[in-house]
Structure 1
Amino acid sequence: MTDYRSEYPFGVRHDGPEPASAGAEPGSSPPRATGTLESGLPLDAFDARLFREQSETVVAKLEKHLSDVSIRGLDLTDPAALADAARALMTTERTRIAPFDERKLAGIVDLYIRTGIQVHSPGYMGRQFSGVVPLSGVIDFVSSVVNQPSSFYEAAQLPSVAERIMAEELNAFIGWERDGFAMVTTSGGSLANLTALLAARNQAFPGFWSEGGSGLAGQPRPAVAVGDDVHYSVARAAGVMGIGDAQIVRLPLNERHQICVERARGVLDAAARRGLKVFCLVASSGTTAMGAFDPLDELGDLARERGLWLHVDGAHGASLLVSDELRHKLRGIEKADSLTWDAHKMLFTPAPCTLLFYRNKENSLGAFRQRASYVFDEEPDIYTALDSGEKNFECTKRPMIMPLWTLWAVYGRALFARKIEYLCRLTADAHRILVRESDFETLHCPEANILCFRFRPAGLGDEDVHDVQVEIRNRIKSEGNFLISKVDVDEVAALRVVMMNHQVTSEHFRMLLGEIRRVGRDLLRQNRPSR
């Protein structure tokens, strides 16, 4: 049989120098190829040697970016001005294919870096997505070039195997039976939550997938029970599934902003009296607002007692499982039926990379019930056993597991555990600093790396507290040194920091408080608390 791999690529009319030999000096830059492909496309657009030059240009700029540890927040640019800058980098050619221009590439990368959130800066304390471990970005770059969509083994062999390996590695911290559970990757926690709720609904209402809501005539209406601080994606998923807001049962919280199990029983009873059949209870491990961890052990017992599917939205906080120090925050996780876990948050990989776990692997096939001859094989074998297309919404998806698996393979669990532990200690230190500041109000004792507080000096009336926090946040953002976020706590705005960057120290937090105090006092001097 002819080994076509050894021959020169088909369809190329090559006018330039021959490809570099296998013994070429590493790092050398042979002349670029010129000419065209038989398709008429320019050879240099697809040339491996030019690709290397382009990569080196980009890598040099990213190296400079990663080396910059200055304090900087968000440089918000007027959208019209940014559009003008972007258009200025575009070719004016309209009929011919423009030649490659390295200056345009450099300008595009510079503009991309400069206008983004500076996730690697000590000034970044605003959101739950993180600066990545640089190696994970390198592997994501590889994924973009080799382009192996990973829902089916034949298209992405190593990613499919890596997904299975990471499932086993991480399940060791969840505690389900090794041969009984399943995991699938999805593009984001919102999609994972939707997928899990679909599996739960289809189990409770087997005819819903084929007959829709019309098949429920005379039956109680399907409903989902959630903590009052649940992420908005859960309510959005319920809407997508045809479950209206009136059928979302909101469970009361305790003083720690966790689901109050005892009061939840009465709310569930009241829902049943209204003709609702709650089929799923959604708990949070690390709420978005305040980072609270619902009591999974007790909620697991409640779900079992009521015959409910327990889904845990651990998009933010599930990563604490890899830490011996912090794992207790998710005590009882083994009682859950499904778990959403974002690696692009506290496992520091490029977004999106979400892991959706099921305690019972049979349930992983329950969300979608379809046949498609062009992708689903009729005769399963050792290869199709690793397909995930039947378990996830996406047919084509990125091999998002590769950055995570590579980091785990190269550095091991300890890299993640140490960084998570540092960020949680840093947040606890920030809380202790706040407690000693008389013009600030602490709102909770942080459970992980999210901290909410208010600037509340003497003389600031209750009626102005909300607007002052909003205006402080806006001015801090516009000044461009720090990026923090805002959240309403008990319907009053609060300032919120999320510690995601190991470059941040307690001293940086003190500097942030100084900025907040300066801006807040300036607002009060101007007698302008309102927006």
Structure 2
Amino acid sequence: MTSSLSDVQSSFPKPATGESSTSPTPALTAAFDPGRFHDGAADIVGRLTAYLGDRSVRGLDLLHPETLLKAARELMTLERHGIADFDADRVSQIVDLYTGTGIPVYSPGYMGRQFSGVVPLASLIDLVGSVVNQPSSFYEAGQLPNVAERLMAEELNRFIGWDLDRFAMVTTSGGSLANLTALLAARNRAFPQIWTAGAEGTPGRPAIAVSEEAHYSVTRAAGVLGIGERQIVRLPVDRAGRIRPDLAAPVLDEAHRRGLRLFCLVASAGTTSMGAFDPLEELAALARRYGLWLHVDGAHGASLLLSDQHRDKLRGIEQADSLTWDAHKMLFMPAPCTLLFYRDKTAARGAFRQRASYVFDEEPDVYSAFDSAEKNFECTKRPMIMPLWTVWSVYGPALFAQKIDRLCAVARQAYEMVAAEPDFAVTHEPESNILCFRYRPDGLDPATVHRLQLEIRNRIRDGGRFFISKVDIDGVAALRVVVMNHLIDADHLAMLITEIRDIGQRVLRASATARHDQRNGSHS
């Protein structure tokens, strides 16, 4: 017997006295109130404006986790049954705690990581994206983001140089995911049966060739794909961290003799440790010779394509098969925003081979042609392209080019200043905005040099005026500066050099005193 709609409705439980089954509670309505949003946004924007305007030289205020846990817990409402009343003061304290405990990316004292203070307009558009909440893997869910993605692909490809009718670009959440997706596309091209039948019966063991300086996300991707550490072929690098093509061929030949079936060579355009750029033209020729897909991890350095001064470092990029490009690094966008490019759009569709009736249209049309879900992992993803497209639309590419040129120039200035100091030793000439060096007075053994750099880095971080990082080069720690703020100048660099020297001398004196006391103690 078929029930009528009225019969079904009558079976619903009756609302309690004072409740309406058709109206939300006043507290629920108030949480979504536009006026409250306006007032809250005005207060938050005011606080962020002051935060942006603070040009003081400051580093990281690193709190003990238990201290921060206590402070954050005290800001949480104790209401567990009803909706708590809105507390503007609580929101303000949360914002202040958030900004106060974060890395001060807009300060000239910040020189430690590869993410940047964003172009302020980009953050406003990111707010718009949060409010309108348009997941952008499908055109019908995010119309303008999908159009903007197509437009930015066309704009940026002007600097790459691929065939306009053949290339493709998709945004994805971070360089690690982009590298994984590109390797998946490369694997599926070389081993088309793996997607459906698995690796069993595959002729040869699938393998990839990577630089000794490759980002860990590349080797992690190999693990995710089931390639295995033993099937990762490491290519030798020079002292600057660049792949040596002349030494790579014998390594590839040896891998073939071991029964490995290489399908991809991964090059870097701006390594994480020293910002090195692999010789792409030579590696492209090598990849063609061995029938390999050439993927370029340009998460950091691909942005140099926008610079007339530095574009030559990516000479040969048009011969690559795929490219990872992080906009949240040297395009100064909110993270994450990664652009994954393919020279051949059919390869982009080859990364994933699935059908799902609830998202993929059986009969493609003019709208679904703009969908990106078939080319990326995410079904729901943020409209991450919108801040970049908006800033590009308002300011044009010169904004990015000028800031990139400025950052590279300051890194070069830092190199010259450090190299002129007799008790410092630079490890390389900067190719972009990354410089590594050591505080190394005469007479120190390698073990002492290593420990000294670690201690200097930690004390600088704890001091709260500068924030720098460290990296191991040839097994010995080095101090690492990443210039991401265009306001950094020679005075800030001189302050950093002085602070490093002062700390280094104090550490060495304390160590000498401790050794002296230990010797005296052993003789007594």
Checking the alignment, whether the CA contact within 8 Å between 2:240 and 2:274 is kept in structure 1 is no
CA contact (8 A) 2:327 2:333 kept: yes
- In the TM superposition, what are the counterparts of 1:41-56 in structure 2 within 5 Å? 41-56=27-42
Q: Please report how far the alpha carbon of residue 508 of structure 1 lies from its aligned counterpart in structure 2 after TM superposition.
A: 0.5
* Structure 1: distance between partners of 2:164 and 2:124: 31
1:258-282 CA distance string (max 9 Å, x none): 0000100000000000000110000
**Contact 1:450-1:497 at 8 Å conserved across structures:** yes
For residues 129 and 245 of structure 1, the distance between their equivalents in structure 2, rounded to whole angstroms, comes to 29
Residue of 215, 218, 242 corresponding to 1:258: 242
Aligned to 1:142: 128
Q: Could you say what the CA RMSD is over the residues aligned between the two structures, in angstroms?
A: 1.3
Structure 1 residue aligned with 2:327: 343
| CA apart distance, 1:463 | 2.4
Task: Give deviations 1:416-443, integer Å, cap 9, x for gaps.
Answer: 0000000000000100001110000010
State the match for 1:20 in structure 2: none
1:498 is aligned to 482
1:205 corresponds to: 191
SS in 1 for 2:375: coil
Letter in structure 1 aligned against 2:264:
C
**Aligned equivalents of 1:225, 1:331: Cα separation in 2:** 20
- Aligned residues between the structures: 494
Match in the other structure for 1:85: 71
Q: Which residue of 2 aligns with 1:153?
A: 139
Other-structure match for 1:16: none
Higher helix share: 2
In the aligned structure 2, how far is the partner of 1:126 from the partner of 1:198? 32
> Partner letter of residue 153 of structure 1?
Y
Q: Aligned partner of 2:141: which letter?
A: A
Q: Which runs of structure 2 are paired with 1:423-462 in the superposition (5 Å)?
A: 423-462=407-446
Quick one: distance in 1 between partners of 2:86 and 2:504?
50
* Letter in structure 2 aligned against 1:465: V
User: Please, which of 275, 280, 289 is the counterpart of residue 259 of structure 2?
Assistant: 275
Matches within 5 A, 1:144-183: 144-183=130-169
The 2-side partners of 1:241 and 1:519 are apart by 45
One-letter amino acid of the structure 2 residue matched with residue 369 of structure 1: R
The sequence identity of aligned pairs, in percent, is 64
Whether 1:126 and 2:112 are equivalent positions in the alignment is yes
Structure 2: state its 5+ residue gaps.
1-19, 515-524
Amino acid in the other structure paired with 1:68: D
1:38 aligns with 23
Tell me if 1:97 matches 2:65.
Answer: no
Structure 1 segment 66-81 matched on structure 2, within 5 A: 66-81=52-67
Letter matched to residue 371 of structure 1: R
For residues 316-344 of structure 1, the C-alpha deviation after alignment (integer angstroms, 9 at most, x for no partner) is: 00000011111101000000000000000
Distance 1:424 1:272 in 2: 40
Aligned equivalents of 1:456, 1:37: Cα separation in 2:
74
Deviation at 1:214, TM superposition (A): 1.2
Q: Kindly indicate whether residue 93 of structure 2 is the aligned counterpart of residue 107 of structure 1.
A: yes
Q: Structure 1, residues 48-103: CA drift from partner, whole Å, max 9, x if none?
A: 01100010010000000000000110001111111111111111212221110100
Q: Aligned residue for 2:229?
A: 245
Say whether 1:402 aligns with 2:391: no
Is 2:151 the counterpart of 1:189?
no
Of 401-410 and 452-461, deviating more is 452-461
Is the Cα–Cα contact under 8 Å of residues 446 and 476 in structure 2 kept in the other structure? no
TM-score of the superposition, structure 1-length normalised? 0.92
Residue type of the alignment partner of 2:245: V
Normalised TM-score (structure 2)? 0.93
Cα deviation code 1:283-329 (max 9, x no counterpart): 00000000000000111111111110000000000000011111101
SS in 2 for 1:339: strand
Cross-structure match for 1:25: none
Please state whether the residue corresponding to 2:58 is helix, strand or coil. Answer: coil
Q: Could you tell me which runs of 5 or more consecutive residues in structure 1 were left unpaired when the two chains were aligned.
A: 1-34
